[in-house]
Amino acid sequence: MNVDITVERVETLSLPLVNRFYKQCRYSAKAGRGEVVYVAKADGNIVAAVRLTPKQEGYHFLRSMCVDPEMRGQGIGRQLLLGIQSFLDSTACYCYPFSHLLDFYAAAGFYQIDDDKAEHWMREPFLRYCRQGRDIKIMVRELNKDT
């Protein structure tokens, strides 16, 4: 099935729509002021969302990537990451993907690093999540110097 997707950056006034999407997907995330938020839409409806939270030293933290459960497996997440490529090219970015998603994020230019190589402000929350039993890794995407 080929879904016609558009990707757009969400303005602050529309964050409640993104939060409603997360809630409908039974996702505990909440988009907030100061974050860069993008959505993928099909037929005018949000079908995927991702948040990029500013961090220290100019990094962003890609988090809360969510695709509507009924639409997973159709490449929508990949289209969303492709749609934010120019933003990703302009900033260094971390993410904590589940282990089974390493190849997915690697295709977008992220690479896995050992937790002791991560900045302390990314390492500490990562270790806390691991202690909670989450099967996650740390990945980083460096600033694209060619842009």
> pLDDT tens-digit profile of 55-107?
988 899 999 999 999 999 999 999 999 999 999 999 999 999 999 999 999 99
Classify residue 44: in a domain, yes or no: yes
CATH code of the domain containing 29: 3.40.630.30
In this prediction, residue 37 carries a pLDDT of 98
Classify residue 75: in a domain, yes or no: yes
Residue 146 has pLDDT above 80, yes or no: no
Domain that holds residue 73: 6-141
d(CA 82, CA 7): 9
In this prediction, residue 57 carries a pLDDT of 86
Classify residue 147: in a domain, yes or no: no
Classify residue 40: in a domain, yes or no: yes
Classify residue 146: in a domain, yes or no: no
Classify residue 1: in a domain, yes or no: no
Residue 145 token pair: 């110097």
Classify residue 104: in a domain, yes or no: yes
8 A C-beta contact, residue 27 and residue 64:
yes
In this prediction, residue 6 carries a pLDDT of 96
Q: Which residue stretches of the chain are H helix?
A: 15-24, 76-83, 85-89, 102-106, 120-131
Domain count, the chain: 1
Q: Is the pTM of this model over 0.85?
A: yes
Neighbours of 101 (CB within 10 A): 16
Tell me the per-residue pLDDT of 10-66, one tens digit each, with 9 for 90 and over.
Answer: 999 999 999 999 999 999 999 999 999 999 999 999 999 999 999 988 899 999 999
